[in-house]
Each structure stands twice: as structure tokens, then as C-alpha cells.
Amino acid sequence: MQKALPVLAAICLAVSAAEAQRVCVEELAGTCLKYADPAPGPAPAPSAEPGPVSDAERAERALGLGPAERRRVQQGLRADGLYGGPIDGLVGPGTRRAIRAWQRRAGEAETGFLTAGQFRALSERAAATAPASSGSPGSPTAASGPGALDRERTAALIGESCYFTAFGTPFDMKFEAGGKATASYIEGFANVEWRIEADRLCLFGPMVRREACAALPPARVANERAMLAERARKLCFDFELRRVPGQL
């Protein structure tokens, strides 16, 4: 009998706990005669599903814009009087509104997302309005400081492509932000790195047999973009990819 007492006590506690969670609907002299289950609470709100990615957003993602490139976009928008937020490289609703306003002014589709050409235009606008930091009047770097020409050319080359053949396979290589380039072929791609520094355009990286560089004019020319595209095409013919077993 003594062993059964703890078991009975546990059962009573469980019943009491269960009744405490129920609602008394009929009571007599302080004793509940009838219980009912509590009304169910409101159903949880369905989680918001992410919307489909538009072609314009997908195209901007393919540019691979990093914080430095996004800051140049914001600087270009500010120079045109369309953006008054911080130059922080964080693309929020304010930056998107400014991009749409800039696209509207340019007579282009108001997507809020940038194409390669639009990014170059805003980068060039940002560079043209950068404050002077050093250099003598009339020198190539007087408008925006040492290395500014290399930075402008780096921004201008993003989105350009060149074509070449390696191991009997045609490649289409696209220059992307962050010093990356993707050389695509029919069965895959190879990753290449690039930079513009000290008036030279260079291709390098683990997939490149040896670093290859092309000299650039030390001062701005009349058509910078055309010059860069021409030097990039020539460099694509001069550098050598490294063969990767099973891939190339």
C-alpha cells in the first residue's frame, strides 16, 4: 500500500495539471462539474516566401559588385543630385530609388538594378567629381589623386569580354568586379584574376601559366573604354591557361 501512494499522488498531480489547462463551463458550490478544452489560439502567420529574382537583378548579381564598387555607384548618384544617403557600399531602398531615378533620367528601363554599362557610367561620373587630393594642376592625377586613373580604368573594364582559344577550345572571358574574370567554355569555366596597376593590365592566378601584362597609356586618352577593350582583347591572345586534368 505504501508503494502505491506515490504512484497515486503522481496521477493526481497529472490530472490536476491537465484540468488546470482546461476551462470550467459548469460549476456547483465551488466544484467544477464540466470542463472544456480551451479555444485554440490564432494560427501562426505564414512565412513570407522570397519573390522570384528578376532578370535585371540577376544581371547585376553577375557583375559581382563589391563594397568599393557599390560606393562608387553611390558617389555617382550623389554627384547627379539623386542620392543623399551615406556612402557606405550598402545598397538599400534609398540607393535603389536613386538608381531608378537615374535610369528614368537616362531614358532607360527603371529596374533599380544596374547593367554593366550603367555601372561604368556611374563609376566614371564618380571619378570625374572626386575632390582633388594631390598632383600639380593639369597632371593626369590632379583631379582625383594618385592611382585614380588605374581605379577609373578598372571600373571601366568591368563587364567587358574577350575571346580566345586554348587547347583547341574556344573561350569567352568576362571581366568582373573584384579583380575576377570567368573564362567560359562549352563544358565549364576557368577562373582568372586581373588587375590594372601602374599603367598595366595584367592577367594572373592559379589557372594562368604565367602572369601576362599589357601596357596602358600613362595619361587619359580620348576614348578610354575602346582603348581598354582593345588592350584586353590583345592580352587574351597573349596569355596561356594552365591545363587542368579532367577539365580542359
State the Cα torsion 116-121-122-127 to the nearest 10°: 120
**pLDDT: is 140 or 244 the higher one?**
244
The pLDDT score that the predictor gives to residue 134 is 41
**Domain limits at 118?**
55-129
pLDDT on residue 19: 52
CA distance 170 to 184: 9
**Whole-number pLDDT of residue 22:** 61
Which of the four pLDDT bands, split at 50, 70 and 90, describes residue 168? confident
Q: Check whether residue 84 and residue 163 sit in a common domain.
A: no
In a domain, 33, yes or no: no
- Does 210 reside within a domain? yes
Amino acid identity of residue 196, one-letter, is I
Shared domain check, 239 and 155: yes
pLDDT of amino acid 79: 85
Asked which of 129, 155, 176 is the last residue of a domain, the reply is 129
pLDDT (0 to 100) of residue 57: 92
Q: Are both 218 and 152 inside the same structural domain?
A: yes
Distance (Å, whole) CA 71 – CA 66:
9
Whether residues 65 and 113 share a domain: the answer is: yes
Do 118 and 172 belong to one domain?
no
122-162 pLDDT, tens digit each? 888 888 776 644 444 444 433 445 578 888 899 889 888 99
Q: Which of 129, 162, 189 corresponds to the end of one domain? A: 129
Q: In terms of domains, do 155 and 228 share one?
A: yes
Could you please report the per-residue DSSP string of 13-54?
Answer: HHHHHHHHTSEEEEEETTEEEEEEPPPPPPPPPPPPPPPPPP
User: What does the alpha-carbon distance between residue 12 and residue 246 come to, in Å, rounded to a whole number?
Assistant: 72
* Cβ contacts of 242 within 8 Å, gap of 6 or more: 206, 207, 208, 209
**C-alpha to C-alpha distances, 15 to 21, 31, 111, 193, nearest whole angstrom:** 10, 15, 63, 71
pLDDT(69) > 50? yes
Q: Are residues 113 and 169 in the same domain?
A: no
214 in a structural domain: yes
Residue 110 pLDDT: 93
Please report which residue ranges of 106-201 form alpha helices under DSSP H: 116-128, 148-157
Task: Determine the pLDDT at residue 44.
Answer: 59
What is the per-residue pLDDT for 201? 93
Flag whether 18 is in a domain: no
Q: Are residues 117 and 183 in the same domain?
A: no
Average of per-residue pLDDT across 104-133: 83
Same domain, 100 and 167: no
Residue 116 near residue 106, CB atoms below 8 Å: no
- The domain tally of the chain equals 2
Residue 231 lies in a domain: yes
Inside any domain, residue 219: yes
Question: pLDDT digit string (tens) for 219-241?
Answer: 888 888 889 999 999 998 888 88
Residue 17 inside a domain? The answer is: no
Query: Which of 129, 162, 184 marks a domain boundary?
Result: 129
Judgement on whether residues 161 and 195 belong to the same structural domain of the protein: yes
Residue 87's pLDDT band (boundaries 50, 70, 90)? confident
* Residue 225 maps to a domain: yes
State the Cα torsion 222-227-228-229 to the nearest 10°.
Answer: 130
State pLDDT tens for residues 2-60.
554 554 455 454 445 555 556 565 666 666 666 666 666 666 565 556 668 899 999 99
How many C-beta atoms surround the C-beta of residue 178 within 10 A?
A: 15
Kindly report, residue by residue over 185-219, the tens digit of the pLDDT.
Answer: 888 888 899 999 888 999 988 888 888 899 998 88
Instruction: Determine how many CB atoms are found less than 10 A away from the CB of residue 193.
Output: 16
Rounded to an integer, the average pLDDT of 104-110 is 90
According to the model, what pLDDT value does residue 135 have?
42
Residue 196 sits in a domain whose CATH number is 2.40.128
- 152 with 245, same domain: the answer is yes
Q: Is the domain of 105 the same as that of 199?
A: no
